[in-house]
Amino acid sequence: MIAIVIASHGDLAKGLLQSATMIFGKQANVATVTFREQETSDDLMTKYQTVLSKFESTDSVLFLVDLWGGSPFAVASQIVSRHSDQMALLSGVNLPILMDTFTIRDQPLDKVVAHLESSGRKGIRHFEPKPRHEGD
């Protein structure tokens, strides 16, 4: 089963996990990492290393981060670059993507990443109400 690290600026990661747990139930091998305004990239690396040390060394790991190019992304990309055979990184995490990840995390990492890229694109929708007719 794929281990999941949700990382964000501020408490977004914690909020996403809390909401997903309400809907989907508690999940094993899921951790959050928050990046605070006063912290450095070194602090973030330490946080990542701490959560990774709690996973089995044989686990594949998927990093779901909030923003492409932000500090959580940049530091995670350093880790993933050194372990690309068993780690992957996606940005733009949101609640539907996190819950989708929970449903398919027993599949190989490359299949999970491809699925999430596709479902993430389909997940943004615009609701357009039908025009009201007089007398409705």
- CA–CA distance, 1 with 45 (Å, rounded to integer): 24
**Catalytic annotation present for 9:** yes
Residue 95, sorted as left (phi over 0), alpha (psi -120 to 50) or beta, turns out to be alpha
- Which among 9, 83, 115, 133 is annotated as catalytic? 9
83: Cβ–Cβ under 8 A, 6 or more apart, which residues?
61
With the CA atoms of 34, 42, 53 and 31 taken in that order, what torsion angle do they form, in degrees rounded to the nearest 10? 10
Residues with a known catalytic role: 9
